[in-house]
Amino acid sequence: MNVKITLNAQRYENYGFNEGREYWKPKGGTFFTVEDVDVDLVMYADNEAIKEALIEQLENWSTDMEKYEYLSHEIVFSEAKIAGADFSESLSKLMNL
């Protein structure tokens, strides 16, 4: 059986790149999904080791122009989907629309 790992990261852009310097500015969150991870591997791994592996992956995604900072992660063993229309209907009722 395989699982997913969701990874929440802060994205930064280097506004000083064109001047040859570093000036990192936060530009919002980025949500990564790691798919098809062996369940036995994550079940017996130390949470800190999983975090460090995810940080390494974020470093691989980072460039001189943008970088990602680890915020949190979650191991997803099962998944269910809610239809957007159903959610919108519930939210509209709560907002008295």
Give the tens place of pLDDT for each residue, 17-62. 989 899 999 999 999 999 999 999 999 999 999 999 999 999 999 9
**For residue 97, is pLDDT > 80?**
no
- Around Cβ 85, how many Cβ atoms within 10 Å? 8
pLDDT at 50: 96
Closest CA to 11 of 1, 22, 24: 24
pLDDT at 80: 87
- Phi, psi dihedrals of residue 88, rounded to the nearest 5°: -60, -40
Q: For the chain, how many structural domains are there in total?
A: 1
pLDDT at 1: 83
pLDDT at 79: 86
Mean of pLDDT values over 58-83: 94
Range of the structural domain that residue 38 is part of: 2-94
